[in-house]
Amino acid sequence: MGFLIKKPADSPGKAWPAILISGFVAFGGILYGYDTGTISGIIAMPYWQETFSTGYRDSTGHLNITSSQTSAIVSILSAGTFFGALCAAPMGDIIGRRWGLVASNGVFALGVALQAAATAIPIFLAGRFFAGFGVGLISALVPLYQSETAPKWIRGFIVGSYQFAITIGLLLASIVNNSTHNRDDSGSYRIPISLQFAWSIILVVGVLILPETPRYLIKKDNYNGALKSLARLRRLPQDDPALRDELEEIEANHRYEVSLGNSGYRECIRGNLAKRLLTGCLIQALQQLSGINFIIYYGTQFFKNSGFKNEFIINLIINCVNVGSTIPGLYAIDKWGRRPVLLLGAVGMTVSQLIVAVVGTTTNSQDANGNIIVLNYAAQKAAIAFICIYIFFFAASWGPIAWVVTGEIFPLKTRAKSLSMTTATNWLINWALSYSTPYLVNYGPGNANLQSKIFFIWFGCCFLCIAFVYFMIYETKGLTLEQVDELYNEVKDARKSPGWQPTLTFRAIQSAKTQEVEDKEAVEERHDSKLTDIQQLDLVITHQTPSRINMATDVQSVVDRLLTADASHPPPNYNFSFTPYLRKTFGFGLATDVPVCKAFKEGHCPLGPTCPDRHPTPSRVTTSSTNASGLAPSVTHGSLVCKHFLKGLCKKGFKCEYLHEYNLRRMPECASFSRSGYCPNGEDCLYHHVRENARLPRCEHYDRGFCPLGPICAKQHVRQSLCPFYLAGFCPDGKNCQHGAHPRWSDSLPKPQIRVEKTEEDLERERALIREEQEREEERQREWRNERGRGGFMRYRGRGRGRGM
């Protein structure tokens, strides 16, 4: 395959429209990259330093800005992007992804205008904040738009193109800065700033002619609009079966998510969504902590302070490496997968940062004024080379994939909100680093003066990246956004995700649920129809008609209708040929899914044995009392606690007629002791205290479906039913499933052991221990009776008579 983009044969429609549209939206990354890259060169321009200086002079005697001013100017953009990213979710959900991009460009243009017109730091800071606010909106909405429009087989390439656009913006910023930094007028910094108007205008004009994402339109219940949008993206006619299948899958997934509840911010931290949100926030945070923005924001100034000449050229070379390295990374995302590329990139970044830290620390020194003295220029060139190698590994892995992962791991109902929080995390860490870096690197009072030692910090963070990818990143290559949601519901360990294959679609799940509802409604309708006929029969019999013949005719007609109804709706059959084997071997047959009769639960069903619903007869406390409504007690009134529930699992689940609760009055075992191993009543408790070490451990092989030792196994075989949805391939309830067990086979289980029969000596030893315990119990009882007779109750009675006299 090489580096060719080839559409799979089973993917309908054309690929180039979605690639072209999503690729153009990635143009928003140029705004981010250009605005981020220009500041590094602008704050190093002599004319800008003289214009915006407040009187501070550096160690060379030139007018400049202080470290705190540098921190504020560089980091204020990240502060604006943080708040912009948080506002992207409500904007994207209210006015849409497309119009959200248009509005965010307006805010960005306002910030650019303020920067270009500024001649003092306060106005410049305000411009940087508004520009950052617009960039924050764009940085969350662009991956959102791309992930919702891209075909699954190339989604990683398309979403990763946003990072490629960022590198293009950084390169353009380096080129422009290098062209204008020697000017002796305001054009040295105003030309680079004003060029951002061009990028914003191009993006707005293009977005206005692009379609809205079909997933957003489905979310707004605009099916026809979503159909037109998807047809435009796939270049297929609106009546094409493949197009409608894809749209119906999107719609089914949305309906399934809506059925689970609301989609507020609190929903983003429930269940496995909290794990996904943590993954998205951590990958964005670690991307920033890898050290990339130190080179982007302060690279020019750092190289200048380190004694390099032509620092603008070095920064330009680094940005060229950044752009060139992103291209192979875009192909590797969908060819090799997310996990391998991220792991390889993390290892390469870790080694490169360590070498740069060691070389930079051992080959430089400082004089009394804090100026850098280079001891070995060849080693410094080697450090620059390894910085370029680090840039290669970052641009080919963590740069684009961080945006890809966060754009595809969240479900539709919380995608905008979760993406805004992960993007806000990126900008929050960005702001913290950009603000603190001058204090960490520079020389002077109150500064840490780390210089090249700061690369040791980036080395430690890159090492954390390796562990993070290994334990938390799921492999989502080749999956639709709906299948990614299914992956997180089924696979709990990220290390097992590469071998996962999708099973049921959300359309199949929704169809099964719809069929279940229709079957239930049909049963209720049949039940009501029979009940009406029975009531009519009672009315005919009790009605005083003038003619016995007419009454007999009416009765016969009703009976015939009842018999016909029974013939047309025969009761379901659950006695198959293998049912006796199940009952003989395992002690149970097939669990029925016929609902319990509502009338029977309330005391009496007039249909009797002809009722299509179940009439369960559990063990109940004999009682003839009725409740306040005059009906007989319900089915669960007075029933005992389910013994299967006490053992650990009941195959009937919520359909069981017995109690599934620790009810002291209705269970043979002490609830307090079984939960905590302690009972305040002690040995006077009326219920049985079963110690944990007295229970046989459960057999892992039996729980997973089969134990080769059968009844001679040394461990406990607890009968349980399996979840039919899990056996079919997918259970939407995941770990909260109440339908049955989710077995998973493991090769690491210990080999089962045969039960060892106790010898006569062992049995005699156990009987002796039991006799000793009985003797101690009898001794305690005698002591208690003697003490009660000598004092206690008898003395209390005596004192009572004395007081009475």
287: tokens are 């991307």
**Maximum distance among all Cα pairs of the chain, rounded to whole angstroms:** 126
Average confidence (pLDDT) over 219-232: 86
11 pLDDT band (50/70/90 cuts)? low
Query: What's the rounded mean pLDDT across residues 272-296?
Result: 89
The end-to-end CA distance of the chain, in Å, is 110
CB 254 within 8 A of CB 414: no
Strand partners, 596: 614
**pLDDT over 90, % of the chain:** 12
How does residue 111 score in pLDDT terms, banded at 50, 70 and 90? very high
More confident position, 224 or 364: 224
Residue 803: band (very low, low, confident or very high) from pLDDT cuts 50, 70, 90: very low
Alpha-carbon distance of 67 to 487, in angstroms, equals 48
Nearest-angstrom CA–CA distance, 142 and 148: 10
User: Residue 741: helix, strand or coil by DSSP?
Assistant: strand
Q: What confidence score (pLDDT) does residue 541 get?
A: 44
Q: If pLDDT is split at 50, 70 and 90, which confidence band does 383 have?
A: confident
Given a cut of 70, whether residue 527 has pLDDT beyond it is no
What's the half-sphere exposure (Cβ side, CA atoms, 13 Å) at 338? Answer: 32
Domains in the chain: ranges and CATH: 17-502 (1.20.1250.20), 507-572+579-610 (no CATH), 700-769 (no CATH)
List, in sequence order, every residue forming a beta bridge with 713; answer none if it has no partner: 754
Average pLDDT taken over every residue of the chain: 75
Contacts (Cβ under 8 Å, ≥6 apart) of 512: none
pLDDT given at position 474: 92
In 3-state terms, what secondary structure has residue 63?
strand
Dihedral angle of Cα 505, 511, 516, 520, to the nearest 10 degrees: 160
- Of the two residues 686 and 30, the one the predictor is more confident about is 30
Q: Pick 761 or 548 by higher pLDDT.
A: 761
The predicted pLDDT at position 461 comes to 93
Instruction: Look at 58 and 392; give whichever has higher pLDDT.
Output: 392
Q: Which of 192-196, 485-489, 618-622 has the lowest mean pLDDT?
A: 618-622
Residue 620 banded pLDDT, cuts 50, 70, 90: very low
Supply the pLDDT for residue 477: 85
Helices (runs of H) and strands (runs of E) counted in the chain: 31, 2
Instruction: Give the residue, 663 or 95, on which the prediction is more confident.
Output: 95
Which of 195, 133, 187 minimizes the C-alpha distance to 169? 195
Pick from 161, 197, 166, 176: which is nearest to 32 by CA?
166
- CA 389, CA 716: separation in Å to the nearest integer? 58
Query: pLDDT tens-digit profile of 209-223?
Result: 888 888 888 888 888
- CA angle 27–28–32, rounded 5-degree value: 120
Average pLDDT of span 557-568: 49
Give which of 247, 211, 213, 78 is closest to 145, Cα–Cα.
213
The model's confidence at residue 260, banded by pLDDT at 50, 70 and 90, is: low
Among the residue ranges 315-324, 595-604, 680-689, the one predicted with the least confidence is: 680-689
Smallest CA-to-CA distance from 296 within 79, 78, 33 is with 33
pLDDT exceeds cutoff 80 at 462: yes
Could you tell me if 321 and 395 are in contact, meaning their C-beta atoms sit under 8 angstroms apart?
A: yes
Most confident of 108-117, 421-430, 767-776: 108-117
Two tokens, residue 696: 């046989």
pLDDT of residue 54: 83
Give every CB contact of residue 224 below 8 A, 6+ residues apart in sequence. none
Q: What is the DSSP string of 326-389?
A: HHHHHHHHHHH-HHHHHHHHHHHHHHHHHHHHHHHHHSEEE-TT--EEES-HHHHHHHHHHHHH
Using pLDDT thresholds of 50, 70 and 90, give the confidence band for residue 629: very low
Report how far apart, in Å, the C-alpha atoms of 171 and of each of 41, 324, 462, 549, 595 are: 12, 10, 24, 101, 67
d(CA 703, CA 696): 14
Q: Tell me which of 6-10, 54-58, 59-63 is least confident.
A: 6-10
Q: 718: exposed, middle or buried (C-beta count within 10 Å: 0-12, 13-18, 19+)?
A: middle
Task: Among 111-125, 427-441, 658-672, name the one with the lowest average pLDDT.
Answer: 658-672
Residue 431 has pLDDT above 60, yes or no: yes
688 is written with which tokens?
Answer: 């049985």
Most confident range (mean pLDDT) of 137-151, 203-217, 405-419 is 203-217
Is residue 615's pLDDT more than 80? no
Q: How far apart are CA 144 and CA 29, in angstroms?
A: 13
Instruction: Please state the rounded mean pLDDT for residues 464-475.
Output: 93
Interatomic CA distance for residues 341 and 430, integer angstroms: 23
Q: Look at residue 334 and tell me whether its pLDDT is greater than 60.
A: yes
With a cut of 50, say whether residue 603 has pLDDT above it: yes
pLDDT bin (cut points 50, 70, 90) of residue 693 is: low
Q: How confident is the model at residue 528, as a pLDDT?
A: 59
Structure tokens at 27: 């143009």
pLDDT at 333 over 80: yes
| Residues 647-691 pLDDT 10s | 667 777 666 766 766 555 555 667 677 766 677 777 666 566 666
- d(CA 189, CA 186) in angstroms, rounded, equals 6
Q: Token pair of 775, please?
A: 């003797």
Q: What is the DSSP letter of 754?
A: B
Three-state secondary structure readout of 676-693:
HCCCCCHHHCCCECCCHH
Residue 701 banded pLDDT, cuts 50, 70, 90: confident
Q: At residue 16, does pLDDT exceed 90?
A: no
Confidence grade of residue 447 (pLDDT, cut at 50, 70, 90): confident
Banded pLDDT at 622 (limits 50, 70, 90):
very low
Helices (H), 442-544: 454-472, 481-490, 506-542
Dihedral sign for Cα atoms in the order 637, 643, 644, 649: positive
Half-sphere exposure of 327 (CA within 13 A, CB side): 9
Query: CA 739: distance to chain centroid?
Result: 23
What are the phi and psi torsion angles at 74 (to 5°)?
A: -75, -40
Which of 17-26, 555-564, 678-687, 795-804 comes out lowest in average pLDDT? 795-804
d(CA 443, CA 445): 7
Enter the DSSP assignment of 181. T
Q: Is the C-alpha dihedral spanning 643, 649, 650, 654 positive or negative?
A: positive
Q: Lowest-pLDDT range, 486-500, 720-734, 765-779?
A: 720-734
Tokens encoding 425: 């995390």
| Percentage of the chain exceeding pLDDT 70 | 68
Q: Provide the residue count of the chain.
A: 805
Q: What is the pLDDT of residues 705-718, one digit of tens each?
A: 677 777 778 887 77
Per-residue pLDDT, averaged over 479-492, amounts to: 83
Rounded to 5 degrees, what are φ and ψ at 660? -110, 70
